[in-house]
Structure 1
Amino acid sequence: MTTDAHPLDLPVGDPFGPDNLPYGLGTTVEDPDRPRIVVRYGDSVLDVGPAAEAFGSPHADLLQRPLLNPLLAAGRSVWQSVRAQLHDWLTSPAHRATAERFMRPLSEVTLRMPFEVADYVDFYASEHHATNVGRIFRPDGDALTPNWKHLPIGYHGRAGTVVVSGTPVVRPQGQRKPPHEDAPLFGPSRRLDIEAEVGFVVGAPSAQGEPVPMSGFRDHVFGVTLLNDWSARDIQAWEYVPLGPFLGKSFATSVSPWITPLDALDAARTAPPARDVPLLPYLDDAVEPEPGGIDLRITVALNGHTIAEPPFSAMYWTAAQQLAHMTVNGASLRTGDLYASGTVSGPEPAQRGSLLELTWGGKEPLELPDGTRAFLEDGDEVTLTAWAPGPAGRIGMGEVTGRIHAARR
């Protein structure tokens, strides 16, 4: 694959430069039925499988598969080896001519769901989000539930409705009970919402019955992706007592087509917020701090207008604590497991990662250039983007976008 330009010549500080190298899956016009692993480099991609074969990589077989799962399952030593090779191929003058043969403009590639999702778990890890939600729904009670600062609260979602960025989001239908009604009604959700989140993709599996400690985070988690956990608040409000989210969440979860390796975010490590409640040993990150928080800056846009900038560094529970809690009962990890942070919100009003919070339950609608919004309307498009500090600039995260389509009757 060749181009007339020089895709290996990137401007200094390009967010998709050699310190990033996120993985995706794509097809081309010439070969639309054969997905191949690609790595983003600037505004181009490297067709990794044939490049690995040309360079004689010992991992060429893994890199020529039609999805990322075999590479995910290979484990950390292989992930690091492949990443080092990719960096060498793309930056070494000695490899320039060979690497350019396998580069292609990003605009010529159709991106697919990069991995097969095994299980999906969503957490509730932002103290600011949980506090806001508590104040909205329990204005005269405690904002946080008694267990919130003792364990990362989460729920199991539906893996089969995790979709790649750009996939239409059909407005869900279901039961909802407005306060003034004596019985529930059925119909399209009227309070369709977003949740700006960060997802973690599991690579190496674990055995059932063997908990994974926080120190095992890097051995099991391959990388990070942006995620929007769409939520039908009216359906959720009627169904969630006593067992939690169900149909109000399971209709769609959108993820970016790019997975950023954990190693690309080393410069973005940051301490989590101070703990004001003692933690049990398996969650105590004062004793076992690996890996801490991540300084990831998220932007939420609705129809092209920025409505929030949630800071991931403000999350109370870290991804390592979530992994430890998710497996402490002996639940096993599978290659392709995806777990999400829960809505990312900060302490300021402009840092809230859901319309529920931004409009305070719909009571304070947003005034946008194209109209007023309390919750999403048909035709609305939501885009999440993000970046993190890197060794020589910013590390860009692949965006995740979804447009709302009318309910199917």
Structure 2
Amino acid sequence: MPEQSPLDLLEGDPFGPHNLPYGVFSTADSPDRRRVGVRIGEYVLDAGAAALALGSPYAKLLDRPSLNPLLAAGRTAWRDVRRALTAWVTVPAHRPDIEPLLHTLPSVTLHLPYEVADYVDFYASEHHATNVGKIFRPDGDALTPNWKHLPIGYHGRSGTVVASGAEVVRPSGQRKAPSDPAPVFGPSVKLDIEAEVGFVVGVPSEQGRPVPLSAFRDHVFGVQLLNDWSARDLQAWEYVPLGPFLGKSFATSVSAWVTPLEALDAARVAPPARDFELLPYLDDSGEDDPGGLDLHLTVDLNGETVSAPPFSTMYWTAAQMLAHMTVNGASLRTGDLYGSGTVSGPAQEQRGSLLELTWNGTEPIGLPSGKRTFLEDGDVVTMTAWAPGPDGTKVGLGEVTGRIAPAVS
């Protein structure tokens, strides 16, 4: 009986040929040599080596230490490279060339797959924004007057975006509780998570020229899971009047795998109904393709599931976020990353942050290890997700995980 090939995947594998997310990896024997990889099942294909072995013209995009050249190549190249990769891992005649270039996941080190140019984070979940408003403005309107007219966001720090698995050092800064006479300095005592979806820009745009809704798929290459770690106590003291700063900028974790948009075609859904008439540049009622995505997220704290946020409930779509981000003429660059903001659903178990799950620490959640509010040193947070794929399959999104390390003294 012939030995089973690594390319013979179990039925229903969420990382089958219908998915093929991209990453960057190195091996123990060549730790300084980074290469573009494609995940297939529990293996990583050295995509550049495969392209060279098969004499593919796409070697110039894949035989690189970063995804940036592929990101910049544009939608036609994204489609053609994906078709080639699908053939390489499915056509039996290619197996003698492809199988020697497969590495098991545990044997490789995964890296940040592209150079992050700019990082913007939005606030696109109505359920999350409403919960936060009720927590901090219990006697006022939960949503601010502008919330349903434009996607609210802030410009983050690209230099502190890290790949899944990197430790997150507890940040220090100023904090002041309402009852404190003066601010104090020290490690954050309300360190939190934000379960998000990130969108990776490939093709840049010209400064001064907004990107319309219809051009979303011409510019955005794919998606990643994203955890926008947040120090709620630092944030609460500093964010009036300008917004998030040190409470956010210390770390943002992303998956090591970028799922191409094309792999999520079967997961496209209409966004929730809007009860406000949108300005023309945000009005997607006449668009041919639905702008929502049916992504199912799961958040685990130390191995225990604490939340299952549904991305399909997001009020603002990724295309609307991109259109708003550029409507003033701001340009896109290859490697730009923008996050959706915390993904939360209508149910308590669908809240994508500990701020909401514990109602700002007043309602601790129960875990086998005891009741918990915010993150403690040594905690490990892991986010996973899946989406419906073609013909009843599931598309897995690469996990994003991080461990909290003590503050630097």
* Aligned mates of 1:50, 1:365 — CA distance in 2: 51
Which segment drifts farther, 252-261 or 388-397?
A: 388-397
The match for 2:107 is 108
Counterpart check, 1:216 vs 2:215: yes
Instruction: Pick which of 5-14 and 344-353 moved more.
Output: 5-14
Inter-partner Cα distance in structure 1 for 2:86 and 2:242:
47
Instruction: In structure 2, list runs of 5 or more residues that go unmatched.
Output: none
Residue matched to 1:274: 273
1:139 counterpart residue number: 138
The TM-score, its normalising length taken from structure 1, stands at: 0.98
* TM superposition shift of 1:295: 0.2
Residues in 1 aligned to 2:126 and 2:175: alpha-carbon distance in whole angstroms: 27
Which residues of 2 match residues 21-100 of structure 1 at below 5 A?
Answer: 21-100=20-99
Judge which range, 128-137 or 4-13, deviates more: 4-13
Can you list the C-alpha shifts for 1:314-364, whole angstroms capped at 9, x where unaligned? Answer: 000000000000000000000000000000000000000000000011100
Aligned counterparts of 2:382 and 2:4: Cα–Cα separation in 1: 29
The separation in 1 between residues aligned to 2:89 and 2:203, in whole angstroms, is 27
Q: State the Cα deviation string for residues 278-337 of structure 1 (Å, max 9, x = none).
A: 000110011225441000000000000000000000000000000000000000000000
Is residue 271–residue 290 contact of structure 2 (8 Å, CA) maintained in 1? no
Alpha-carbon distance in structure 1 between the residues aligned to 2:95 and 2:25: 23
CA deviations over 1:241-260 (Å, ceiling 9, x no partner): 01000000000000000000
Q: After superposition, what is the alpha-carbon deviation per residue over 1:201-225, rounded to whole angstroms, capped at 9, x for unaligned?
A: 0000000001000111100000000
**2:237 maps to amino acid:** W
For the aligned residue pairs, the C-alpha RMSD in angstroms reads 0.8
Aligned to 2:259: 260
1:126-182 superposed Cα distances (whole Å, 9 cap, x missing partner) = 000000000000000000000000000000000000000110000000000012111
What corresponds to 2:152 in structure 1?
153
Residue in 1 that maps onto 2:364: 365
CA separation of 1:271/1:398 partners in 2, compared to 1, >3 Å: closer, same or farther? same
Secondary structure of the equivalent of 1:397? Answer: strand
CA distance, structure 2, for counterparts of residue 24 and residue 174 of structure 1: 34
Distance 1:305 1:289 in 2: 40
Once residues 50 and 326 of structure 1 are traced to their aligned partners in structure 2, the CA distance between those partners, rounded to angstroms, is 37
Q: Which secondary structure does the structure 1 equivalent of 2:33 belong to?
A: coil
Contact kept, 8 Å, 1:215 with 1:290, in 2: the verdict is: no
Distance in 1 separating the partners of 2:118 and 2:353: 24
8 Å CA contact retained: 2:307, 2:351: yes
Measure how far apart 1:62 and its partner are: 1.5
Deviation at 1:101, TM superposition (A): 2.0
Residue 381 of structure 1 corresponds to 380
Letter in 2 for 1:197: E
Q: TM-score, normalised by structure 2?
A: 0.98
Is residue 217–residue 291 contact of structure 1 (8 Å, CA) maintained in 2? no
Aligned to 1:328: 327
Q: Deviations over 1:85-121 (max 9, x none)?
A: 0000000112122111211111111101101000000
Mapped contact 1:231–1:248 kept (Cα < 8 A): yes
- The alpha-carbon distance between structure 1 residues 248 and 96, as it changes in their structure 2 partners (threshold 3 A), is same
Task: Give the Cα separation in 2 of the matches to 1:169 and 1:92.
Answer: 42
Contact preservation (8 Å) 1:230, 1:253 = yes
* Structure 1: gaps (5+ residues): none
**In 2, Cα distance between equivalents of 1:132 and 1:289:** 32
Partner of 1:15: 14
Query: Would the aligned equivalents of 2:21 and 2:39 in 1 still touch at CA under 8 Å?
Result: yes
**Partner of 2:30: helix, strand, or coil?**
coil
Deviations 1:48-92 (A, max 9, x none): 011001111111011111110011001111111100000000001
- Matches of 2:287 and 2:11, distance apart in 1: 36
**Aligned residue number for residue 339 of structure 2:** 340
User: CA–CA distance in 1 between the matches of 2:289 and 2:191?
Assistant: 37
**Distance between the aligned counterparts of 2:288 and 2:374, measured in 1?**
39
Distance in structure 1 (CA, Å) of the matches to 2:368 and 2:322: 41
Q: How many residues align?
A: 406
Q: Secondary structure of 2:31's partner?
A: coil
Q: Stretches of 4+ moved more than 4 A in 1?
A: none
Structure 2 match to 1:403: 403
Question: What CA distance in whole angstroms lies between the structure 1 residues aligned with 2:128 and 2:65?
Answer: 38
Map of 1:174 onto structure 2 = 173
Q: Does structure 1 retain, via aligned residues, the 8 Å contact 2:116–2:159?
A: yes
Question: How far is the alpha carbon of 1:198 from its aligned partner?
Answer: 0.1
1:394 corresponds to 2:394: yes
Q: Does 1:319 align with 2:318?
A: yes
Q: Deviations over 1:26-61 (max 9, x none)?
A: 000111110000000000111001100111111101
Counterpart for residue 199 of structure 1: 198
